[in-house]
């Protein structure tokens, strides 16, 4: 028989609620509502009968070794961890401590004697990168799954990064839990992907789920961002944009079944998207958002050095019936456990949020709130992952004569020398693999700026294998689009500069081409989900391939043969709104991280020269005027 996860072992050992709360539970028959008996005890509509602690986190994104923080608290790291903040082992400890606090001792002022808790992940439970690559080694376990399972969530919703490696890897991630964790999303249809559909059929992918705590039933509804096709690689997974309609139908179904406490856990990429959704909802008591990384906190909440609260905790929005609904989220990387404390009356209505007990609880190994990480998680997850990263850091793939600029806002707004190198690596890889995969060798390389993720300048000197993972962490494969009509090619470039001068993940770094654009001319408008060009752009003025072929002159496309383009399969599918449309493309069996590493070590023979990659770039992208 499979051993119980830690969460259930700890709850089984936790002290029971106070005698009076137990008596109330017994009298009410152990079900939600219990209106007649509650009335018999003399409770009024505004009196709390049940207090629910919603413990949550989101966007953990494979930060398996913790995070440094901008400065540290005084004192030594109590558990010897690699970084002072975050980490799954410490989060496991914090979660256990919070669960015990919920069900033992006398209730806090304003809370009910009858108390319970649920613990939820908002999705993005893993992310491509060096930590995740440890799980891709032969014979290695799914380290992220081990971490999530030991923390002991009741359920998780489905984020966009779950699909970064394609449906099969997500299905393998789900399988690693052996049925101990359910994945909940009402608007995701996985029937088009056999490996995920198997999990839908065995009940581990659900539209909604009933959670249980101290005799109460709590309905959970999950949602995934409708922008999923442009953010990740879901392939034949479909996302229904009718989020309010689906949520209200499930909330109504819960009500018909006598379940009067309902949580919406939604991964919509920005907490303002949740706030905009609430006015369309009915029957939802609280919303836990994810994907945006916002920090919500009060003045007295302890934060990791360098973190700043953007708004208070919780936020509120009125639903379709005029009820004030609390909306919460937290930032990711195992840095905080969010805690929302809801008081319910005998009708199952929220009569208040315990503001004193609600808020982010930081996960720290240093300072007055330091905790020791769980030893099992540390030994089975963090130590082998740290060893893997040491091996990557010790492997030199090239030596650079110049600093290589990968700062986030720079690669998303202008040409940089690191952006040029990444784009060159795509084109070079496409050329190397063209014969094997039967594609036309690419003339041009295009890399979306949002896919360059190190957010730093690599200093001159040795470039390690670990550096290439920092630069290109996603699982995207190099793809060749062999026949791009010239007008389509022009609109691809227009997409890259549409947000200029603002930074945008769609800004493209290029190889094999030089172009000029007018940032004051009309910008392109596209449907970011379909990639359909709604309004063609007029910014791109001149485009010339490296072989001298003129593609655009004075804003006009020059007739001629189509162009073969190497990019990544995320972009080729229309990610970031790139208007490739239905053009055929072929993935050539190499991730873009492998392309960067291979190009640096083999294509450049291990030497990045100042002549080829000068600081500031070499004039591939320029503005007019």
For the segment 380-395, what is each residue's pLDDT rounded down to a tens digit?
999 999 999 999 999 9
Give the count of domains, the chain. Answer: 2
Residue 432 and residue 365 share a domain? no
At 2 the pLDDT is 37
Average pLDDT over residues 255-276: 97
Residue 594 and residue 534 share a domain? yes
In a domain, 39, yes or no: no
Distance of CA 51 to the CA centre of its chain: 30
* DSSP conformation letters of 234-268: -TT-EE-S-HHHHHHHHHHHHHHTT---EEEEEE-
Quickly state the pLDDT bin for 284 (edges 50, 70, 90). very high
Average pLDDT over residues 421-450: 96
Domain span at residue 482 reads 396-623
At 385 the pLDDT is 97
Peptide bond into 311 cis (omega under 30): no
The number of CA neighbours under 13 Å toward the Cβ of 454 is 20
Q: Is the pLDDT of residue 354 over 90?
A: yes
DSSP 364: B
Residue 412 and residue 367 share a domain? no
349-353, 516-520, 531-535: least confidently modelled range:
531-535
Residue 209 and residue 64 share a domain? yes
Dihedral sign computed on CA atoms, order 189, 193, 199, 201: positive
Q: Rounded to an integer, what distance in angstroms lies between the CA atom of residue 123 and that of residue 266?
A: 9
Residue 344 and residue 410 share a domain? no
- Identify the domain boundary among 386, 418, 444: 386
**Global pTM?**
0.79
In a domain, 521, yes or no: yes
Residue 559 and residue 418 share a domain? yes
Q: Rounded to an integer, what distance in angstroms lies between the CA atom of residue 389 and that of residue 384?
A: 9
At 527 the pLDDT is 84
Average pLDDT over residues 589-613: 95
Q: Is the separation of the CB atoms in 367 and 137 below 8 Å?
A: no
- Identify the domain boundary among 366, 386, 406: 386
Q: Rounded to an integer, what distance in angstroms lies between the CA atom of residue 311 and that of residue 295?
A: 7
At 33 the pLDDT is 35
Residue 368 and residue 428 share a domain? no
In a domain, 19, yes or no: no
Average pLDDT over residues 283-303: 96
- Greater model confidence, 176 or 74: 176
At 474 the pLDDT is 84
Q: Is the pLDDT of residue 23 over 80?
A: no
Q: Is the pLDDT of residue 21 over 60?
A: no
Average pLDDT over residues 255-277: 97
Distance of CA 35 to the CA centre of its chain: 41
Q: Is the pLDDT of residue 26 over 60?
A: no
In a domain, 13, yes or no: no
Q: Is the pLDDT of residue 319 over 50?
A: yes
Residue 455 and residue 364 share a domain? no
Q: What is the pLDDT of residues 474-514, one digit of tens each?
A: 878 899 999 999 999 999 999 999 999 999 999 999 999 99
For residue 103 the two structure tokens come to: 């069900």
In a domain, 9, yes or no: no
Give 296's strand partners. 311
At 29 the pLDDT is 38
Assign residue 85 the CATH number of its domain. Answer: 3.60.21.10
In a domain, 121, yes or no: yes
For residue 99 the two structure tokens come to: 């669960």
- Identify the domain boundary among 386, 410, 428: 386
129-133, 251-255, 289-293, 537-541: least confidently modelled range:
129-133
In a domain, 411, yes or no: yes
Q: Is the pLDDT of residue 600 over 90?
A: yes
At 625 the pLDDT is 67
Residue 443 and residue 376 share a domain? no
Q: Rounded to an integer, what distance in angstroms lies between the CA atom of residue 412 and that of residue 423?
A: 13
Q: Is the separation of the CB atoms in 358 and 341 below 8 Å?
A: yes
In a domain, 28, yes or no: no
Calculate what percentage of the chain has a pLDDT beyond 90.
83
Q: Is the pLDDT of residue 19 over 50?
A: no
Quickly state the pLDDT bin for 543 (edges 50, 70, 90). very high
Quickly state the pLDDT bin for 72 (edges 50, 70, 90). confident
Mean pLDDT over each residue of the chain, to the nearest integer: 91
At 84 the pLDDT is 97
Average pLDDT over residues 25-38: 38
* DSSP conformation letters of 482-500: EEE-HHHHHHHHHHHHTTT
At 175 the pLDDT is 98
Residue 402 and residue 378 share a domain? no
Residue 371 and residue 423 share a domain? no
Assign residue 543 the CATH number of its domain. Answer: 3.90.780.10
- Residue 475, by phi and psi: left (phi above 0), alpha (psi -120 to 50) or beta? alpha
Q: Rounded to an integer, what distance in angstroms lies between the CA atom of residue 100 and that of residue 10?
A: 8
Residue 448 and residue 371 share a domain? no
């Amino acid at each position: 028989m499979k051993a119980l996860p830690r969460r259930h072992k700890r709850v089984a050992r936790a002290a029971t609620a106070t005698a009076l709360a137990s008596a109330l539970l017994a009298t009410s028959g152990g079900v939600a509502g219990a209106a007649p008996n509650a009335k018999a005890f003399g409770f009024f509509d505004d009196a709390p009968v049940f207090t629910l602690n919603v413990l949550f986190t989101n966007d953990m994104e494979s930060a398996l070794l913790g995070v440094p923080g901008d400065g540290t608290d005084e004192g030594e790291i109590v558990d010897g961890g690699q970084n002072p903040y975050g980490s799954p082992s410490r989060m496991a400890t914090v979660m256990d401590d919070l669960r015990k606090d919920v069900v033992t001792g006398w209730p806090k002022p304003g809370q009910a004697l009858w108390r319970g808790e649920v613990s939820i992940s908002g999705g993005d439970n893993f992310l491509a990168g060096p930590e995740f690559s440890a799980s891709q080694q032969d014979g290695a376990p799914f380290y992220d799954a081990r971490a999530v399972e030991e923390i002991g969530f009741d359920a998780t919703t489905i984020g966009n990064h779950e699909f970064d490696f394609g449906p099969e890897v997500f299905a393998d991630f789900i399988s690693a839990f052996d049925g101990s964790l359910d994945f909940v999303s009402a608007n995701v249809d996985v029937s088009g992907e056999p490996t995920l559909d198997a999990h839908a059929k065995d009940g581990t992918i659900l539209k909604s789920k009933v959670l249980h705590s101290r005799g109460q039933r709590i309905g959970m509804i999950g949602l995934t961002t409708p922008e999923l096709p442009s953010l990740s690689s879901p392939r034949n997974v479909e996302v229904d944009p009718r989020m309010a309609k689906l949520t209200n139908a499930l909330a109504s179904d819960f009500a018909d079944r006598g379940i009067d406490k309902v949580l919406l856990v939604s991964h919509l990429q920005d907490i303002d998207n949740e706030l905009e959704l609430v006015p369309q909802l009915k029957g939802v008591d609280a919303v836990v958002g994810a994907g945006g990384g916002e920090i919500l906190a009060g003045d007295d909440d302890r934060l990791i050095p360098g973190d700043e609260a953007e708004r208070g905790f919780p936020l509120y929005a009125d639903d379709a019936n005029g009820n004030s609904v609390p909306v919460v989220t937290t930032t990711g990387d195992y840095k905080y456990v969010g805690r929302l404390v809801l008081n319910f009356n005998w009708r199952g209505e929220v009569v208040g949020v315990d503001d004193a007990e609600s808020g982010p609880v930081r996960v720290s190994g240093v300072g007055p709130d330091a905790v020791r990480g769980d030893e099992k998680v540390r030994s089975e997850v963090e130590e082998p992952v740290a060893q893997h990263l040491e091996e990557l850091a010790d492997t030199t793939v090239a030596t650079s004569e110049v600093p290589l600029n990968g700062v986030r806002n720079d690669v998303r707004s202008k040409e940089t020398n690191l952006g040029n190198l990444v784009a060159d690596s795509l084109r070079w890889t496409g050329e190397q693999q063209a014969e094997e995969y039967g594609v036309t060798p690419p003339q041009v390389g295009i890399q979306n700026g949002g896919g360059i993720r190190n957010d730093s300048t690599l200093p001159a000197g040795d470039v390690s294998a670990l550096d290439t993972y920092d630069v290109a962490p996603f699982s995207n494969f190099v793809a060749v689009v062999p026949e791009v009509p010239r007008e389509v090619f022009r609109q691809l470039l227009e997409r890259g500069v549409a947000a200029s001068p603002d930074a945008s993940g769609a800004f493209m770094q290029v190889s094999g081409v030089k172009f000029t654009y007018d940032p004051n001319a009309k910008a392109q408008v596209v449907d970011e989900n379909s990639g359909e060009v709604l309004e063609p752009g007029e910014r791109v003025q001149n485009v010339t391939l490296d072989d001298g072929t003129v593609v655009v002159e004075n804003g006009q496309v020059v007739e001629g043969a189509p162009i073969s383009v190497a990019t990544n399969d995320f972009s080729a599918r229309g990610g970031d709104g790139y208007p490739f449309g239905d053009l055929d493309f072929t993935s050539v069996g190499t991730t873009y991280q492998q392309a960067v590493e291979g190009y640096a070590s083999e294509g450049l023979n291990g030497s990045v020269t100042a002549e080829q990659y000068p600081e500031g770039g070499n004039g591939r992208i320029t503005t007019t005027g």
